């Protein structure tokens, strides 16, 4: 089981400038939804952005400590343009 704080910390280790929101979807500590905002996403495709996040969580994904992960990735400019931001 991985806590939401641990997920956020791992993502921030891989993407040091990231702002991260983590939601445990089932309460079991293995199904997460994350929102990640990072300037490192500038000029990268959606697939490349997701790969950066997956890389930060590689060990937990490989061991299935995190069984399911959904994510939304934004540059700071994209984030500011959202009506809810």
The domains found in the chain, sorted by start residue, are: 4-78 (3.30.300.90)
Averaged pLDDT for residues 70-76: 96
Its pTM stands at 0.91
53, 12, 35, 28: CA torsion to nearest 10: 90
The pLDDT tens digits of the residues spanning 6-50 come to 999 999 999 999 999 999 999 998 999 999 999 999 999 999 999
Query: What pLDDT does 84 receive?
Result: 67
Query: What pLDDT does 1 receive?
Result: 84
């Amino acid at each position: 089981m991985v806590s939401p704080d641990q997920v956020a910390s791992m993502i921030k280790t891989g993407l040091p400038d990231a702002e991260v929101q983590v939601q445990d979807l089932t309460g079991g500590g293995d199904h997460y939804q994350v929102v990640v905002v990072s300037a490192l996403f500038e000029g990268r495709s959606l697939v490349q952005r997701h790969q950066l996040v997956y890389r930060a969580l590689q060990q937990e994904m490989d061991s299935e400590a995190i069984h399911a992960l959904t994510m939304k990735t934004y540059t700071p400019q994209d984030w500011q343009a959202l009506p809810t931001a």
